[in-house]
Chains A and B, each alone.
Chain A
Amino acid sequence: MRTAGQLLAEHPFFEGMDDAALDLIEGCTRLEHYRPEQFLFREAEAADQFFLLRSGHVALECHAPGRPAYVLDSVAAGGVVGWSWLVPPYRWFCDGRATEEVSALVVDGRCLRAKCEENPALGYALLQRVAHVMYQRLQSARVRLQDLYGVPGGA
């Protein structure tokens, strides 16, 4: 039976992280499983955790009355869901829903924020990784905003 710390070290998000830092994070981490269609979190809820997917697939959805919810982004195994735990007001931006069986390391954001306050080096290392994820998600959104497959030259 592997420890949460060992599982954390295996996850691509923490590649290159030193053992001392992983030890600190382990204290805020637990392993969870989600069923298909189960919500991991909902829009506007307190965003006090983030999810490192070990297996499965999570869709990020935005709902509105009168139409089915849109899936705006998705995260596969090896990816990470959630950075709102780092940015005030610490609220989820959209719904997160498992589209298949998900096994995830769930890290308590409040717990981790407190440790980062005490340990800026840990904070910086986390911020670097989160910034990279945000960078990729933003570029993905910007490219899709161009609607490249849409009507050529149209609205």
Chain B
Amino acid sequence: MPTAASAASPLVLDVGAFQAMIDVLAADGYTVLGPTVREGAVVPGPVASVDDLPRGCGDVQGPGTYRLRRRDDDAWFGYAADAVSWKSVLFPARELIWRGTATPDGFELAADRTDGGLGDPPYAILGIRACDLAAVAIHDRILRDRAYPDPRYADRRRDTFLITVTCSDPSGTCFCVSMGTGPRADGGFDLALTELVHPEHRFVAIAGTPRGGEVLARLAGGPPSPQDLAAADGVADSAAARMGRSMETDGIKDLLYDNPEHPRWDDVAGRCLSCGNCTLVCPTCFCTSVEEHTSLTGQDVERWRVWDSCFTSDFSYLHGGSVRGSARSRYRQWMTHKLASWQDQFGMSGCVGCGRCIAWCPVGIDITEEAAAIRSTSTTIAPGEPGEPSREA
């Protein structure tokens, strides 16, 4: 008989209880997704058993570098950021908006639903990192909580059960501490787990919502000992002290607003391929396009919402040409949006410090290095004012 634990107080789950948690969620109707290893990377996948998790798997990430490594223990969550973020589940790359048919009276539309290909919602996401959880909160603000919500996102999001796992081993590209998003989440989850491997493999679990507590209440486990709690805190503290990178965020909005002609943009333009990888892997990028797919007769139309990237040459097309025709202007747009304009638009930074853009850039452009370079050679004089310094790096 499971020990009834108050929804508010932490619980220690052993390996068996962890499996039971997966089973409870599945029995409740969730499609349980979690980190899985596929083709040499940690990516979202279906999780039916703890054996599906990336046991003993760590990662090495750096500019333009991502590879998995074998850990010397059997931790299940010993990697840093998944190669593919949970954006791909909650905000699929391709989504049907409506189907339409031409009629004598014009056209008729019917709503339809597609999802990300990992099974039907509702989803239980097991193992989302604090940085990615912060990204979900950002998407909630952008896609759900403004004047015109995306109803498909709102639907999918409302029913999603979120289980976060504290980061124990940040990678060389991580800087969540600088962005104030990790390595441990302090809200926005149904359940938060911290993995402890020694002396026994166990998880300190706390509930963040009534429905999280309700699931915990059905699991076997006792309250954590003071040593358990101290060890859990230690995981977070140790991770916070081992960030691979940092970003000075003080005044970064004005820094980027005031430097649209900084020579560093020319420098990065010489490296940037405009491939758009950064926008694909970034968990907060949300730009989309709309496509009409027509049958050969033109009678049937599907309108699809698809991911788009500000790096594409016609993203800013405006009858005649693109406003941002050069790679220089497009990199400037992405970085200024992410770190600066996002704040004016949505009330927070667009960057959660996950470092994926650094790892997955084919030429290893590092957003923290670019920001630091602009900061170190910027002056306080805005362009166009008398006394503007000569343009030398």
Contacts and interface: CB of A to CB of B under 8 A. Distances in A.
Q: Chain B at the A interface: mostly helix, strand, loop or mixed?
A: loop
B320 interface: yes
A154 B320 CA distance: 7
Contacts of B320: 152-154
Contacts of A152: 319-320
Nearest to B317: A153
B321 interface: yes
Interface string B302-330: 00000000000000000111000000000
Interface string B161-172: 000000000000
Nearest to A154: B320
A154 B319 CA distance: 10
A152 B322 CA distance: 12
Interface in A111-155: 152-154
A152 B320 CA distance: 5
A108 B139 CA distance: 74
A149 to B, nearest CB: 13
A123 B321 CA distance: 48
A152 B321 CA distance: 9
B117 to A, nearest CB: 39
B367 to A, nearest CB: 33
Nearest to B319: A152
A152 B319 CA distance: 6
Contacts of B321: 153
A80 B264 CA distance: 49
Contacts of A154: 320
Nearest to B321: A153
Interface in A19-77: none
Interface in B277-323: 319-321
A101 to B, nearest CB: 43
6 contacts: A152-B319, A152-B320, A153-B319, A153-B320, A153-B321, A154-B320
- Which 6 pairs across A and B sit closest by C-beta, in order of nearness? A153-B320, A152-B320, A152-B319, A153-B321, A153-B319, A154-B320
Interface of B: 319-321
